Amino acid sequence: MNNRDGRPEVLLGFSPCPNDTLIFYGLVHDRVASPIRFRPVLADVEELNRRSMKRELEVTKVSYHALCHLRRDYYLLRSGGALGRGCGPLVVARTDRELSGLSGLRIAIPGRMTTAFLLLQLYDRGLAGGALEMPFDRIMPAVARGEADAGLIIHESRFTYPLFGLHQLLDLGEWWEQQTGLPIPLGAIVARRDLGRKRVATIEGLVASSVSYGREHFDEARPYLLRHAQEMDESVLRQHTDLYVNDFSNDLGTEGIQAVRELLHRAENAGLVETSELDLFA
């Protein structure tokens, strides 16, 4: 589709979380010169995962777990994703208890296609048996009210769970790093293969430029981040973006690509996803 200014228009899916709104601020506000106009579609990452399964979005944020199922239709971009150290999902509960006692019990999860749920299964499939799906921002209140025995939390929840009187039982990012020595891949940016390798390569470079712009102009982007983050405290906002928007967001690099391939390899070996011989990158 061509826009009124003559530029082709591409649907760009990302979440309202501050790391995504910071990353794409430059593109959606025309702060980055682009031959393509990006029309933003903001939604929870699990909804983006589902919409990508239907090939609805041309460029979008997805979970790395979802990427395992999308390789036939999407290329992985080297820029724009969430990957790092000390930023993994946590399992929390009302009381400090043994993880083994949670096997088969109700663990609230932010979606079955999230990387968090994939990591939980890789850690211990027994913990995934009683999974209750709900939006990520409802998990901590649900655990605090006793509607779930534990919660698998992501995003800014790793900073705020003590406010709900909850205790950390497991840091899946720490477990991953101990197992592999690699950073943890959480969220990916993908582009539909039918855009063609040349256009995908162009988009990859534009996303990298938008990452750089957002990191260099945080104060300018702050009102946009806060508008979508809703009730997030400003100090948590900065903690969140400092953690999740990092050098890997500019470019996965050798170590980042190794981490992605390791996650896919472990998921395939565990029989959690189908194997694929397709190239990941355009």
pTM of the model: 0.94
Domains of the chain, by residue range, sit at 9-84+184-269, 90-180
Specify which residues 253 forms β-bridges with: none
Lowest mean pLDDT among 144-148, 175-179, 236-240, 262-266: 236-240
Mean pLDDT of 103-118: 95
- Please, what CATH class does the domain formed by 90-180 belong to? alpha beta
Which among 155, 167, 240, 265 is annotated as catalytic? Answer: 155
Looking at residue 1, its pLDDT comes to: 59
Q: Taking 80 as the threshold, does the pLDDT of residue 230 lie above it? A: no
Instruction: Please compute the mean of the pLDDT values over residues 98-109 and round it to a whole number.
Output: 90
Task: Using the predicted structure, report yes or no on whether residue 111 has a pLDDT greater than 80.
Answer: yes
Integer Cα distance of 235 and 197 in angstroms = 40
Task: Quote the CA–CA distance of 108 and 87 in Å, as a whole number.
Answer: 19
Average pLDDT over residues 61-81: 97
Pick the CATH number of 9-84+184-269 from 3.90.550.10, 3.40.190.10, 3.40.30.10, 3.40.50.980: 3.40.190.10
In this prediction, residues 228-251 reach a mean pLDDT of 88
Q: Is 167 a catalytic residue?
A: no
Beta strands at 167-171 and 150-153: parallel, antiparallel or unpaired: unpaired
Domains 9-84+184-269 and 90-180 in one fold:
yes
| Tokens found for residue 257 | 């690509």
Residue spans of alpha helices (H) in the chain: 18-28, 45-53, 64-70, 115-123, 136-144, 157-160, 172-180, 197-216, 218-229, 234-244, 247-250, 253-269
Mean per-residue pLDDT, 184-203: 97
- The per-residue pLDDT for range 157-183, each reduced to its tens digit, is 888 999 999 999 999 999 999 999 999
Residue 246 has pLDDT above 90, yes or no: yes
Residues 22 and 80 sit within 8 Å (Cβ to Cβ): no
